[in-house]
Amino acid sequence: MKYVAHVVFVVAAMLATTPATAPAAQMTYESFPFYGEEPWGGSYLGVDTQDVTSDRLGALHMKDERGVEVTMVDQDAPAGKAGLKEHDVILSINDQQVQSVEQLRRLIHEIPAGRNISIGISREGQPMTLHAQLAERSKMPEMNFNFHGPNINVPVVHIPPINIPEIDVPNIVVVHAPRSSGMMIENLTPQLGDFFGVKGGNGVLVRSVEKGSRAEQAGIKAGDVIVKINGSAVNDCSDFSRLLRSRTSTKATVVVMRDRREQTLTLNLPEKRTGSIQSEDCEDLGVAVCAQIKAGTAEVATAIPVITADIKKMQPDLEKMRKQIEKEVERQKPQMEKLQKEIQEQVRSHQGEIQKQMEEMRKDLEQQKEELKKEMREWRKSADI
């Protein structure tokens, strides 16, 4: 039994050196039994012993170097059933003194299996006598040492599909807020025109209406599309401003598209002023400041139609650019799908390598199991007492 510690160490070393699996891997366990097969004969007590030496006398509470110290007890053998414990000192067998391990081995082998023996011992310095019935070594139950080796299932790695986002090229609109009317308008796009029932996107969309303003009093609402002023078509914000400036009275007939139906409304406007800026526009301001404001306002009023026209001219180019971008994205889709398949293939390839490594590790465990079985057989041969 002196090799049991070595066997336990080998088992522990195997478990310590087993490669750790990935956190997501599922662990299952398989039992590996180790057992002896050769039917060795002879009487069997079931202890592992060593000679008592001078350096052990103090720990064993003994005065003389005699007897043998029990270093391990097989609890299923006669020694364990008789009550022998580790560090007991066997002094005699059937009143015959024991001086060494070799003498104890010879005494046990000379007594036939099945005979009852008396064992004189010293336990912590106190003399005791125990009784045991020697067993037949070949009839002792097999000693099975079980440990668990990992059976590793590598998880499947799923790559989410690569979704190519659609690129939406925004439309450029011009927002205009006529101060006198109290509403905010913007140019229509062809798509918005179709939505509101206006062909070709001609007209201006009313984005918001101020409470209490002239527009609200006229019945104009946010979401209306102004298509005519005083009988003239309104194509964009510049037409809207131009027609209001060119009016000849304080009232303007406004045709709006609401719920895809035309409605005619009357918009009351302030009287037109001529000459320099006056009244509330220049209240508490000097003449020079008013003149500068007027000049700046005129420049802005002149520039707005030009800018609006330029932007409207750019919209076909922007639409063309958007279609080109969509076409390029569509063209790149096969390459993106090919790249996705390559990534998935690489993952599957690595998964196969991991499975291969796990299989090699399982074979190594099987080989070590056979080696441990051999160690157990050698130990059983050497465990003569």
Q: Write the DSSP assignment of 76-127 as a string of letters.
A: TSHHHHHT--TT-EEEEETTEE--SHHHHHHHHHHSPTT-EEEEEEEETTEE
Residues 172 and 268 both lie in one domain: yes
pLDDT at 95: 92
pLDDT value, residue 310: 75
pLDDT-derived band of residue 161, with 50, 70 and 90 as boundaries? low
49: which residues sit within 8 A by CB, 6+ positions away? Answer: 68, 69, 70, 71, 90, 101, 104, 385
The residue to which tokens 């800018």 are assigned? 307
For residue 216, give both structure tokens. Answer: 């609200």
Q: Is residue 357 part of a domain?
A: yes
- Residues sharing a CB contact under 8 Å with residue 332, sequence separation 6 or more, in sequence order: 164
What CATH number is associated with residue 68? 2.30.42.10
The larger pLDDT score, comparing residue 174 to residue 161, is at 161
Does residue 11 register a pLDDT over 50?
A: no
CA torsion through residues 107, 109, 112, 115, sign: positive
Kindly state the percentage of the chain with pLDDT values over 70. 68
Mean pLDDT over each residue of the chain, to the nearest integer: 76
Residue 282 maps to a domain:
no
Beta bridge partners of 175: 186
Residue 40, Cβ density class (10 Å: 0-12 exposed, 13-18 middle, ≥19 buried): middle
Q: What is the mean pLDDT of residues 50-66?
A: 91
Q: Is the same domain home to 18 and 118?
A: no
Q: Is residue 76 part of a domain?
A: yes
Q: What is the pLDDT at residue 298?
A: 65
Residue 157 pLDDT exceeds 80: no
- Whether residue 305 is contained in a domain is answered as no
Residue 230, in any domain of the structure? yes
pLDDT digits (tens, 9 = 90+) for 97-125: 999 999 999 899 899 989 999 999 999 99
- Write out the residue range of the structural domain in which residue 264 sits: 168-276
Q: Does some domain include residue 323?
A: no
User: Residue 237 in 3-state DSSP?
Assistant: helix
pLDDT at 168 over 90: no
Indicate if 178 and 250 belong to the same structural domain.
yes
Angstrom distance (rounded) from CA 151 to CA 36: 26
Q: What is the pLDDT of residue 179?
A: 58
Last residue of a domain, one of 229, 250, 276: 276
The highest-confidence range among 147-161, 235-249, 269-283, by mean pLDDT, is 235-249
Specify the range with the lowest mean pLDDT, choosing from 37-46, 70-79, 272-281, 332-341. 272-281
* pLDDT exceeds cutoff 70 at 294: no
Are residue 196 and residue 241 in the same domain, yes or no?
yes
In this structure, the answer to whether residues 83 and 222 fall within a common structural domain is no
283 assigned to some structural domain: no
**Which pLDDT score, from 0 to 100, does residue 32 have?**
36
Confidence of residue 241 (pLDDT cuts 50, 70, 90): confident
Statement: residue 19 has pLDDT above 50:
no
Model confidence at 68, pLDDT cuts 50, 70, 90, reads: very high
In sequence order, which residues have a C-beta less than 8 Å from that of residue 132 and are 6 or more positions away? Answer: 45, 78, 79, 81, 82, 84, 116, 117, 119
Q: Are residues 237 and 375 in the same domain?
A: no
**Same-domain status, 149 and 217:** no
The arithmetic mean of pLDDT across residues 365-377, rounded, is: 81
Domain presence at residue 226 = yes
Q: Does one domain contain both 3 and 148?
A: yes
Q: Pick from 276, 292, 317: which residue ends a domain? A: 276
Tally the domains of the chain: 3
Percent of the chain with pLDDT over 90: 26
At residue 279 the predicted structure's pLDDT band, cuts being 50, 70 and 90, is very low
Segment 191-211, tens digit of pLDDT? 888 888 888 778 999 999 998
Helix (H, G, I), strand (E, B) or coil at 183: strand
Q: Are residues 72 and 117 in the same domain?
A: yes
Give the β-pairing of 116-123 and 89-93.
Answer: antiparallel
Pair (160, 64) in one structural domain: no
Q: What is the pLDDT of residue 348?
A: 77
**Domain final residue, candidates 230, 252, 276:** 276
Pair 232, 266 in one domain:
yes
160 and 96 housed in the same domain:
no
Tell me the C-alpha distance between 71 and 4, whole Å.
11
